Chain A
């Protein structure tokens, strides 16, 4: 049985939803961060799936761009997380709610 396009899309939707819910309910910054990455990669999956479906490489190019952005975002995000942790000795996002360091 050859995997259909809809399978990939369903998987991607499930992964994205898990990511969204994770961002909503997790308090740990690291966990939220990983959930964001999960959403990005869910999108990547759709890109690749469509690219293969339409026989068009531009979708895969987008994936590279998304991965680059994700890497940059990870660097910045982790930097922020470390800065917050140094200040507050905590990874709980609810502790960082005063809109300043």
Chain B
């Protein structure tokens, strides 16, 4: 059954590529593509939620298709597995993917490459689901590369856009750097454990890689461990892979450029699903990471650093999609921060809510771009709420969600990450948890500011789209003073998008609003007398297991924890569920802790509201306020990479490899060889004098030599 989840989109891709390209019928292509993903969605929901489904049982659903590679001890199956983690991923990938497919049928209307777009998009769904549902590292890597390929194809989708092709190449190459780490990590996993599988399989004697690693002692917290070739090395190498795919420092540069692709692609691949593959991989391998404290620390630092770094850039961008791209990088940083402090469940929770609200925001921006006739510069928008009310209202949901306003989805997940960061003790050196929390809190503030800026510049403030180019440029310099011509009727009046685009927006807006309620922390739900514990956290608990407390315990089987007795009463309140005490930070559930968590929730809310207020005050009147050059130019990271890496490679390639090695050594060798033979021929040419009797004489001489030789030897034989 599981196999149909991945093969339905593949079938859709094949049909659209082979049949759709001949028919060129948008309705047919759209229906095939959406139906393919729809089938996946239905099966995924059925498998996850039926009575024996992946989200209910502690055993993963397995589907073994065939043994792919078996060489000596090495064994890789083409087998799929859906446990609670991959189940949640599969659910939101298929569901958000379906919505985005529907949106794209409207957005891509009239494009010449309609069939190509949907074939790629379906192929992407196939690769992404393979990545998530794979039951071993190698098959995961197939999906990993597959999504990279589709990302490349879709970033470069607009063949006539100048920036698309270099952006696609950049994404591909940056991902190659990450994949290098992933492959090395994969090899090291096999080298250490003799297996590349995630799950123990009945009837197969070798235990899975993760189980094997869980029995190993925990690596020491030293820099030396990174290069020791042990678990820490694996974790760091895998994390390099994750930085490539999930756009973290130092490999994040490709994601903003990837916005050259169509907006549904940005929503699906570069916000909701593919870029979270790195987080998925880290959480999937949480056993490896929890055994490598150094790697955990690196993950947390990189995550927090990326979150802050990208948020500051996002504040100064003028392209609506670029803002969202940097916002995505920043949010991914949050997720890695959560992983790094051991709050894997919070990371996954944020992945899920982020998929909702970021997909919503991207599709909303797509709707805006569509309505503005492919204008992406926010400086030429403004006041759009009158023209596109549905887009406006739905985007408000996404905006409030990402800012972290209570009850919206992002509030719960972001708050949980911040709280887990503050209370982290097992993986973070003392004191660093507070520093990381501070970075996270600043980022939350900046997030609220730049998202408010985006909303204000797009939907509120004055209308600036009527003005022509030069006047607009003028405005940019002086800010604020709106073009008077904006109110005149203009050929390019924005319009609301068709139904196929607004319906996904509405659905995603609803999810952005209420999607966080599955993971309300106990500290809050107990206030309202709600459910005793955090459903989302409990659901994921068996997957993540718990942090090994000492070198001897290793990994206790998760079922044991799952079935531990019901919450005990402490101070008259039910304690955290059994899941809680194992959920990364093993703090006791005391009333003071609960109060502290509530206090931090309050702080988060205040931060979000202050951020929104700052954004509103700064940009409502002066939407075109000049932002610091350093930020607008993205800290000159691209330029620095150009100077430090790309140019040296260019120069050594051109001057060294081409002009010296290729021209000098390789061509030189071949030319010398040729010239020698020509010279040899020129010498021997003089033998060909043309006199027939001359040749005859040479033949005679040859014959005489041969006869003489034999005569001589024959004579000697006779003498003996």
Contact of B691 among A20, A23, A97 (CB under 8 A): A97
B688 interface residue, CB < 8 Å from A?
yes
Q: Which residue of B lies closest to A36 (CB)?
A: B696
Q: Measured between alpha carbons, how far is A9 from B690 in the docked complex, in Å?
A: 35
A50-100 at interface with B (beta carbon < 8 Å): 93-94, 96-99
Contact of A23 among B688, B689, B690, B693 (CB under 8 A): B693
The answer to whether B688 touches A94 (Cβ under 8 A) is no
Complex A-B: 24 CB contacts under 8 Å: A20-B700, A23-B693, A24-B693, A24-B696, A24-B697, A24-B700, A25-B693, A27-B693, A32-B692, A32-B693, A93-B691, A93-B692, A93-B693, A94-B691, A94-B692, A94-B693, A96-B690, A96-B692, A97-B690, A97-B691, A97-B692, A98-B690, A99-B688, A99-B690
B678-713 at interface with A (beta carbon < 8 Å): 688-693, 696-697, 700
Interface residues of B, Cβ cutoff 8 Å to A:
688-693, 696-697, 700
A98: B residues at CB distance < 8 A: 690
Chain A interface size band reads 10 to 19
| Number of cross-chain contacts by CB at 8 Å | 26
Q: Measured between alpha carbons, how far is A98 from B690 in the docked complex, in Å?
A: 6
B689: A residues at CB distance < 8 A: 97
Q: Measured between alpha carbons, how far is A96 from B690 in the docked complex, in Å?
A: 7
B689 to chain A, nearest CB (A): 7
Q: A23-B693, A24-B696, A94-B691 are in contact. List 9 more A-B contacts (CB 8 A).
A: A20-B700, A23-B696, A24-B693, A24-B697, A32-B693, A93-B691, A93-B692, A93-B693, A99-B690
Q: Measured between alpha carbons, how far is A23 from B691 in the docked complex, in Å?
A: 12
Q: Measured between alpha carbons, how far is A25 from B693 in the docked complex, in Å?
A: 8
The residue in B688, B693, B700 that gathers the most chain A C-beta atoms within 10 A of its C-beta is B693
A24: B residues at CB distance < 8 A: 693, 696-697, 700
Q: Which residue of A lies closest to B688 (CB)?
A: A99
A20: B residues at CB distance < 8 A: 700
A69 to chain B, nearest CB (A): 17
A94: B residues at CB distance < 8 A: 691-693
What 8 pairs across the A-B complex have the smallest Cβ distances? A97-B690, A93-B692, A23-B696, A99-B690, A97-B691, A24-B696, A24-B693, A98-B690
B700: A residues at CB distance < 8 A: 20, 24
A85 to chain B, nearest CB (A): 14
Q: Which residue of A lies closest to B692 (CB)?
A: A93
B693: A residues at CB distance < 8 A: 23-25, 27, 32, 93-94
B696: A residues at CB distance < 8 A: 23-24
Q: Which residue of A lies closest to B691 (CB)?
A: A97
B241 to chain A, nearest CB (A): 69
B697: A residues at CB distance < 8 A: 24
Residue-by-residue, is A27-42 near B (CB-CB < 8 Å gives 1, otherwise 0)?
A: 1000010000000000
Q: Measured between alpha carbons, how far is A97 from B688 in the docked complex, in Å?
A: 10
The residue in B691, B692, B700 that gathers the most chain A C-beta atoms within 10 A of its C-beta is B692
A96 to chain B, nearest CB (A): 7
A39 to chain B, nearest CB (A): 11
Q: Measured between alpha carbons, how far is A9 from B269 in the docked complex, in Å?
A: 96
A3-33 at interface with B (beta carbon < 8 Å): 20, 23-25, 27, 32
Q: Which residue of B lies closest to A23 (CB)?
A: B696
Q: Measured between alpha carbons, how far is A24 from B703 in the docked complex, in Å?
A: 14
Q: Measured between alpha carbons, how far is A23 from B688 in the docked complex, in Å?
A: 18
Q: Measured between alpha carbons, how far is A21 from B127 in the docked complex, in Å?
A: 85
Q: Measured between alpha carbons, how far is A27 from B689 in the docked complex, in Å?
A: 16
Q: Measured between alpha carbons, how far is A98 from B691 in the docked complex, in Å?
A: 9
A25: B residues at CB distance < 8 A: 693
B691: A residues at CB distance < 8 A: 93-94, 97
Q: Measured between alpha carbons, how far is A93 from B690 in the docked complex, in Å?
A: 9
A81 to chain B, nearest CB (A): 11
A17 to chain B, nearest CB (A): 11
Q: Measured between alpha carbons, how far is A98 from B688 in the docked complex, in Å?
A: 10
B48 to chain A, nearest CB (A): 86
A99: B residues at CB distance < 8 A: 688, 690
B690: A residues at CB distance < 8 A: 96-99
Q: Measured between alpha carbons, how far is A97 from B693 in the docked complex, in Å?
A: 10
Q: Which residue of B lies closest to A27 (CB)?
A: B693
Q: Measured between alpha carbons, how far is A94 from B696 in the docked complex, in Å?
A: 13
Q: Which residue of A lies closest to B693 (CB)?
A: A24
Q: Which residue of B lies closest to A96 (CB)?
A: B692
Q: Measured between alpha carbons, how far is A94 from B691 in the docked complex, in Å?
A: 6
B488 to chain A, nearest CB (A): 87
B76 to chain A, nearest CB (A): 66
Q: Measured between alpha carbons, how far is A24 from B704 in the docked complex, in Å?
A: 14
Q: Which residue of A lies closest to B697 (CB)?
A: A24
Q: Measured between alpha carbons, how far is A93 from B692 in the docked complex, in Å?
A: 6
B266 to chain A, nearest CB (A): 72
A23: B residues at CB distance < 8 A: 693, 696
Q: Measured between alpha carbons, how far is A14 from B697 in the docked complex, in Å?
A: 18
Q: Which residue of B lies closest to A32 (CB)?
A: B692
A24 to chain B, nearest CB (A): 6
B295 to chain A, nearest CB (A): 78
A96: B residues at CB distance < 8 A: 690, 692
B688: A residues at CB distance < 8 A: 99
Q: Which residue of A lies closest to B703 (CB)?
A: A20
Q: Measured between alpha carbons, how far is A25 from B689 in the docked complex, in Å?
A: 17
B469 to chain A, nearest CB (A): 74
Q: Which residue of B lies closest to A25 (CB)?
A: B693
Q: Measured between alpha carbons, how far is A40 from B693 in the docked complex, in Å?
A: 18
B692: A residues at CB distance < 8 A: 32, 93-94, 96-97
Q: Measured between alpha carbons, how far is A96 from B691 in the docked complex, in Å?
A: 8
Q: Which residue of A lies closest to B699 (CB)?
A: A23
Q: Which residue of A lies closest to B694 (CB)?
A: A97
Q: Which residue of A lies closest to B704 (CB)?
A: A20
The residue in B688, B689, B690, B700 that gathers the most chain A C-beta atoms within 10 A of its C-beta is B690
Q: Measured between alpha carbons, how far is A94 from B688 in the docked complex, in Å?
A: 14
Q: Measured between alpha carbons, how far is A62 from B700 in the docked complex, in Å?
A: 23
B708 to chain A, nearest CB (A): 15
A27: B residues at CB distance < 8 A: 693
Q: Measured between alpha carbons, how far is A99 from B646 in the docked complex, in Å?
A: 60
Q: Measured between alpha carbons, how far is A99 from B690 in the docked complex, in Å?
A: 6
Q: Measured between alpha carbons, how far is A80 from B696 in the docked complex, in Å?
A: 17
B226 to chain A, nearest CB (A): 75
B646 to chain A, nearest CB (A): 59
B213 to chain A, nearest CB (A): 79
Q: Measured between alpha carbons, how far is A24 from B692 in the docked complex, in Å?
A: 9
B428 to chain A, nearest CB (A): 89
